[in-house]
Amino acid sequence: MRALSIASYDSIADLPPGVVPAGLALGVLLIALHVWLSRCNPVWLGAIVPIIVIALVTALAMEVRPTVGLIAGYVATIVALIVIWWAGEDTRRMKRERDTAP
């Protein structure tokens, strides 16, 4: 059995049936899981998500040779995730204080 690869197919129409709907369903599920985890545990957004992005970027870079613009886009995404997490620190601190108040 041949694994799916980015370079294996010329267009989306060449993909096996069910791959696109399954990918869309998985994407929606992952977004819902991400929103839920971000509200329950802020470490998810600030630490785990950037690690996942770095792992995915590394895997993609091994398969295709990235351009400077693509690398810059990945770096900007990771920096944006970290900035968003830091920006919410005051909100998380106030929530912790409110939750632990007698």
Structural domain containing residue 66: 41-102
List CB contacts of 57: < 8 A, sequence separation 6 or more: 74
> In this predicted model, what pLDDT tens digit does every residue of 40-53 receive, in sequence order?
776 666 667 777 87
- Tokens representing 74? 């990945």
Count how many domains the chain has: 2
Percent of the chain with pLDDT over 70: 82
| 71 and 90 share one domain | yes
Cβ 30 vs Cβ 53: under 8 Å: no
Q: Average pLDDT of the chain?
A: 76
Same domain? For 45 and 87 the reply is yes
Question: Do both 47 and 95 map to the same domain?
Answer: yes
Mean pLDDT of 75-84: 78
Which helix (H) or strand (E) is 31 found in, with range? Answer: helix 19-40
Q: What is the spatial distance between Cα 25 and Cα 98, in angstroms, rounded to a whole number?
A: 37
> Taking 60 as the threshold, does the pLDDT of residue 6 lie above it?
no
Note whether residue 76 is domain-resident.
yes
> Do the Cβ atoms of 39 and 89 come closer than 8 Å?
no
Residues 32 and 46 in one domain: no
| pLDDT value for 1 | 47
Residues 31 and 50 in one domain: no
> 63 and 73, same structural domain?
yes
Residue-wise pLDDT tens digits, 7-43: 576 777 777 788 888 888 988 898 888 778 777 776 6
- pTM value > 0.85: no
Whether 34 and 47 share a structural domain = no
